[in-house]
Amino acid sequence: MPEKPEMNNVKLQRNSARLLLWLSGAMALGLFIAMVWHSSPLSPGIPALQLTFDEASFKTILAQWGPEGVALFRRHFLIDFPVLASYGAFGYLLVRYSCLFKRVDTITRQISGWAMPGAAVLDAIENLLHLVLISEPATHAPALYLFAGVFATGKWLLIANFMAGTAYLLVAKWRHGCEK
């Protein structure tokens, strides 16, 4: 007996979502590796700049990088914006369409589903603030440095939380398997 058209549509939708999940994950990983390689000459690294909260600390790192380093940092945004879009999509799709989060209660699953897109939004805001802060040597309002640091910290906390939760669920999956 042939399957109903609705069942075929559901299977097609699930398969498309899984394909998008894998593509977004591969894209996030590939772009992240490219971004790390591209920015590897910067010392201290970009996370050190991201976790500054005042003008003096921010400008100290820029001075250590020099004009070439600041130009490299500016160019890294060409990779960073696609990275944040891909990891945001990957996190959402992982929660929504993989078996990892099936056993998690509804509220935790919903919050987890929006953790990586939320981190991506914070990352985009942080990037825009950093672009403003490096756009000219003028002194900017101290709040801009503080906001950039706070948004970066929020981004990293969401990413770390999501990764820790996903790692925990992976261990549970290997122990107990996924429900079909």
Report how far residue 137's alpha carbon sits from residue 54's, in angstroms, rounded to the nearest whole number.
15
Per residue in 53-97, pLDDT (tens digit) is 999 999 999 999 999 999 999 999 999 999 999 999 999 999 998
Is the Cα torsion angle 76, 77, 78, 83 positive or negative in sign?
positive
Coil, strand or helix: which one is 94?
helix
56: left (phi over 0), alpha (psi -120 to 50) or beta: alpha
Res 180 pLDDT > 50: no
- pLDDT score recorded for residue 173: 75
Average pLDDT of the chain to the nearest whole number:
91
The pTM of the full predicted model, rounded to 2 decimals, is: 0.88
Contact 162, 119 (CB under 8 A): yes
* Confidence bin at 11 (pLDDT 50/70/90): confident
* Confidence bin at 4 (pLDDT 50/70/90): low
| All residues at 6 or more sequence positions from 170 whose CB lies less than 8 Å from its CB, including other chains | 100
Between the CA of residue 54 and those of 32, 58, 59, 150, what are the distances in Å? Answer: 27, 6, 9, 11
Q: What is the mean pLDDT of residues 28-49?
A: 97
* Confidence bin at 26 (pLDDT 50/70/90): very high
* Confidence bin at 178 (pLDDT 50/70/90): low
* Confidence bin at 176 (pLDDT 50/70/90): low
Contacts of 124-127 with C-beta under 8 Å, sequence gap 24+, read 124/81, 124/84, 125/151, 126/50, 126/151, 126/152, 126/155, 127/77, 127/80, 127/81, 127/84
Q: What is the DSSP letter of 3?
A: P
Percent of the chain predicted with pLDDT > 70: 92
Q: Which residue, chain included where needed, has tokens 């790390």? A: 36
- pLDDT score recorded for residue 99: 84
